[in-house]
Amino acid sequence: MAVSVAVYLAPVKEIAITNHPHVVLGVTGSIAAFKAATLAGELVAHGFDVRAVLTETATRFVTPLTFEALTGNQAATGQWDEPGRGSRMIHIELGTWADVVAVVPATATTIARLSLGLADDLLGALILSTPAPLIVAPAMETGMWSHPATQEHVKTLRARGVRIVGPSEGRLASGTHGEGRMSEPAAILEAIRQTARRRSSLHGLRALVTAGPTHEPIDPVRYIGNRSSGKMGYALAQEALDRGAEVVLIAGPTALASPPGAEVVTIETTRDMQAAVLERAGASDIVIMAAAVADFSPACVLPSKLKRDAGFQLTMQPTKDIARAASEAAPDALHIGFALETEDLLNAARLKLRRKGQALVVANAVSDGHGPFGSDVNHVLLVHEGDLVELPEMSKVNVAAAVWDDIERLLAARGKLPG
């Protein structure tokens, strides 16, 4: 029986953000769909606000009414409203509402569609449009799971940051025994809890992050700069957004796309960055100075392009210490710095801690065997006044997660971590 979306769509005001993490539970056409109902009940019991989205084939195994009874929310089954009412853009509404989207169970067809980005049903459109993290719990016969096409689709999803839970080995719907059985609801619940905790851990806090290089002009067409790509600062900004913080990203010249949801302030010079930081530091709970700002700038900027045959001697002057000024302007904020050195890295980092009023300095060295500029990986030390942690070489995305884990520990010690 075809059921219109309008029957199941609650008014927009009913899906306003609450203190309960929001989970969109996508249910697809597998015999394991009955476990999704169990999971829905467990999620509600653990304090989650759950909305179910059922594909057409899922309704052959379970009913929307089952999920409405378990979650207290209306379920959705299709993209379209009742005739004559016009589109309600339900996939946008639910995608914006969600803190986590979990597809449980995920059939081989569903995994292929997610990998390809197909959006011709409600669940596909929702997943393609939402910024929320995605969890997928596969369920299928062993041959389908092990098929190269399925494995390639799973590889693609993992590369995009999708968390795959299972499958496990056990008795399958066909009566055979093998890999492909959907993970038990308890394991999927824990994955959702971990993801939601990470996404909401900084809710209500404001983070200011600087990123990229600065360009100090010599004349209208030339400048002095450095090799910073901004990747580390952008990764820190994205991680803060993923954990629920409000983020202001103050960025020098880069070729990177702005993190969705951040307020991005673009600057060129160290003086520009100082003005932008000091204007916003006082309203911030965390200030991360990840930008590679210039320590010196030309004392005089030529008004016209310097000709090749003209004699020229460049005089440099020191720039202002933005990190120290930010600590003085916002003494109640948690200040994080970065140190990049070619020698004596640890002592330089600890000196920064004391001189700049910072609680943590992320230190990385430039040497013949290691250069973080432009790279997707980094090898850093997390330096505190009394201890340090050396991280193995890892992607800058993972470095950002480790840095924010450390920041959350510092916030908790100060009694400033939400919840």
> Which residues are marked as active site?
226
278 by DSSP, 3-state: which?
helix
Q: CA-CA distance, 34 to 266, in Å (whole number)? A: 50
Which residue is it, tokens 């300095």? 361
Nearest Cα neighbor of 26 from 145, 120, 113, 134 is 134
Nearest Cα neighbor of 195 from 408, 391, 23 is 23
Cis omega before residue 105 (within 30°)? yes
Backbone phi, psi, residue 322, to 5°: -70, -40
Q: CA-CA distance, 103 to 39, in Å (whole number)? A: 11
Q: Give the C-alpha distances (Å, rounded to integers) separating 111 from 63, 98, 105, 136, 184.
A: 22, 20, 10, 8, 19
**Gyration radius from the chain CA atoms:** 26
Instruction: Please list the residues that pair with 388 across neighbouring strands.
Output: 383
- Helical axes 108-116 vs 122-129, angle rounded to 10°: 40
DSSP 209-250: EEESB--EESSSS-EE-----SHHHHHHHHHHHHTT-EEEEE
Q: Give the C-alpha distances (Å, rounded to integers) separating 11 from 64, 93, 121, 356.
A: 18, 10, 21, 50
Encoded tokens for 360: 């943590």
Q: CA-CA distance, 100 to 401, in Å (whole number)? A: 18
Instruction: Please list the residues that pair with 337 across neighbouring strands.
Output: 289, 361
Q: CA-CA distance, 121 to 124, in Å (whole number)? A: 5
